[in-house]
Amino acid sequence: MIHLTRRTAGGDMTTFTVWAPRAERVRLLAAGAQRAMTRDDGGWWRAEVPEAGPGTDYAYLLDDDDTPLPDPQSHRQPAGVHGPSRVYDHSAFGWTDRAWTGRQLPGAVLYELHIGTFTGEGTFDAAIDRLDHLVDLGVDLVEVLPVNAFNGEHNWGYDGVCWYAPHEPYGGPDGFKRLVDACHRRGLGVVLDVVYNHFGPSGAYPPRFAPYLAQGSNTWGRSINLDGPDSDQVRRYVIDNALMWLRDYHVDALRLDAVHALTDHRAVHLLEELTAEVEALSAHLGRTLSLIAESDLNDPRLITPREAGGYGLHAQWDDDVHHALHALLTGERQGYYADFGTLECLSGVLREAYFHAGTWSEFRGRTHGRPIDPHRTAGHRFVAYLQNHDQIGNRAAGDRISALVPESLLRVGATLLLTGPFTPMLFMGEEWAASTPWQFFTSHPEPELASAVASGRRREFAEHGWPDADVPDPQDPATFARSKLDWAELDRPGHREMLAFYRRLIALRKAWPDLSDPRLDRIRVHHGDRYLTIRRGSIVVLANFADQHRRIGLDDWPRDVLLATEPGLVLIRSAVELPPQSAAVIRC
């Protein structure tokens, strides 16, 4: 499954190994010839090939089938996921980030982007040209949606099948390394989104070699075999992939997609095992490495240290924060928003991270979640957002919140996010209220698969409360084109002012320690008639959601107005009068 290239006096010698425990015969196609491979007791097949150095294409033949198959652990797929693999030498890249020591999550601002739609060109190199924009914005970590190879030219990245090979149309392995290296030169860390809960529907050849799949299924099809027979090597396949991104691509953190879909009944869960391995790698490399989970379980065990019986992940996405803000700002109550939308809900989330914490969920029809201990759990362990790829792209029209609420309420939402106790994350273009949607797009070459995906999306939207929605065709190239950012908007009225506001807000967060303080037990929240006050040490954040002025009393006399989202704010001794649909940050 892996290959090593070493230099010899006579040239290059590559050792090819692949795990195929149930095969009777495995042959290697490489350097213009077919070679028999020898098997060991663990089901690994091996062959040594002189003069098969970097750049050599190769494939495997299983048993009597003469169909060439790519390496399940291929590091490069220049002809796509169905084509031959190519020998790639990680040591050949000229890194310039030797002094880089990483970026920690506490105090950081994240920025989520999709390579294919972040720029018009949709490549790693084109993204490099926009990194200075992120530095000026005040971003610390760039979170990149999955980049491993999938079938077709473009999609979200969650249908990856070659987990070890960066997508060739984006720029391949060297292109991704150039992007990471360029980020580090500018002081930006890199978070990579990885998917270990399923293989994509087209080009998933690893299960042809070995029992990578379990008998059970999840939302996307067959689950990964993490606890059945032969699962030791499957777990190793997952963990080695994570270590590869962190070690060979110098990535600083991984965002683990939908970990609730990782079915593992072992005493030591895969996530705990992965955390231990990443901690060991971090110690060896001497730089900060982080793991961030996406989970809808509201289970603090994910982020509880291993020493205290948890899995030891460093953070998790917190959808409850998003839902509380979105439902309150937009008034939407369909689908899972039915449980959210009140000031009481938002107040609770700001204090305790989860809204559903062993409490009833109307959407699920059952109790959900488990409470955290705010005295022992820091807010930086929860990544919060006003928008992200899922919450935009899984809407029928892919419309952003900027298309749903007036600019005044958009600024209120941004203020609450970026002055809160959690680790804030922006979605690309949010900082200038981009007018471009971000829709669900695919480029499956197989007509049957394309049709099934489009039909499935329509059913999902009907279940979510959009039965009559005009759902864009995911396979239509125009759907993909519409989802690309329009960078020309930066110079247009409205967008230009919103960008300046976000820059000021992020700078304010970084200037005042009280605003980046992640201690949840120190936050004080009060809500009244359509208004909210949040005490953060010496700073008070106020938000008025009403269509009229609100006079809000304070315990202390206000000293300075650090930020006001709308003109017309008035300080009155121990009170503040807020304009309609506005927020303010005040030092007392």
The answer to whether the annotation marks 258 as part of a ligand binding site is: yes
Closest CA to 215 of 226, 205, 204: 226
109, amino acid identity: V
Q: What's CA 139's distance to the chain center, in Å?
A: 15
The answer to whether the annotation marks 506 as part of a ligand binding site is: no
Token pair recorded at residue 306: 């291993």
Q: Using CA atoms, how far apart are residues 253 and 531, in angstroms rounded to an integer?
A: 37
The answer to whether the annotation marks 256 as part of a ligand binding site is: yes
The answer to whether the annotation marks 399 as part of a ligand binding site is: no
The answer to whether the annotation marks 151 as part of a ligand binding site is: no
Q: Using CA atoms, how far apart are residues 177 and 439, in angstroms rounded to an integer?
A: 28
What DSSP state is assigned to residue 502? H
The answer to whether the annotation marks 375 as part of a ligand binding site is: no
294 in active site: yes
The answer to whether the annotation marks 193 as part of a ligand binding site is: no
* Phi, psi at 85, each rounded to 5°: -85, 165
Question: Which residues make Cβ contacts (< 8 Å) with residue 336, sequence separation at least 6?
Answer: 323, 363
Q: Using CA atoms, how far apart are residues 92 and 177, in angstroms rounded to an integer?
A: 11
The answer to whether the annotation marks 464 as part of a ligand binding site is: no
In order, the DSSP letters of 13-26 are: EEEEEEE-TT-S-E
The answer to whether the annotation marks 7 as part of a ligand binding site is: no
Element (H, E) at 224: strand 221-224
The answer to whether the annotation marks 191 as part of a ligand binding site is: no
The answer to whether the annotation marks 393 as part of a ligand binding site is: yes
The answer to whether the annotation marks 154 as part of a ligand binding site is: no
Q: Which of 143, 193, 294, 352 is catalytic?
A: 294
Are the beta carbons of 258 and 294 closer than 8 angstroms? yes
Q: Which residue has the tokens 């979170």?
A: 143
The answer to whether the annotation marks 439 as part of a ligand binding site is: no
Question: Which residues make Cβ contacts (< 8 Å) with residue 41, sequence separation at least 6?
Answer: none
Are the beta carbons of 174 and 93 closer than 8 angstroms? yes
Are the beta carbons of 192 and 251 closer than 8 angstroms? yes
Q: Which of 12, 257, 299, 489 is catalytic?
A: 257
SS3 490: helix
The answer to whether the annotation marks 259 as part of a ligand binding site is: yes
Are the beta carbons of 584 and 542 closer than 8 angstroms? yes
Q: Are strands 366-368 and 359-361 parallel, antiparallel or unpaired?
A: antiparallel
The answer to whether the annotation marks 319 as part of a ligand binding site is: yes
Closest CA to 144 of 245, 47, 243, 231: 245
The answer to whether the annotation marks 197 as part of a ligand binding site is: no
The answer to whether the annotation marks 109 as part of a ligand binding site is: no
Q: Is the dihedral of CA 295, 300, 302, 303 positive or negative?
A: positive
Residue positions forming the annotated binding site for substrate: 255-260, 319-323, 389-394
Residue positions forming the annotated binding site: 255-260, 319-323, 389-394
Catalytic residue IDs: 257, 294
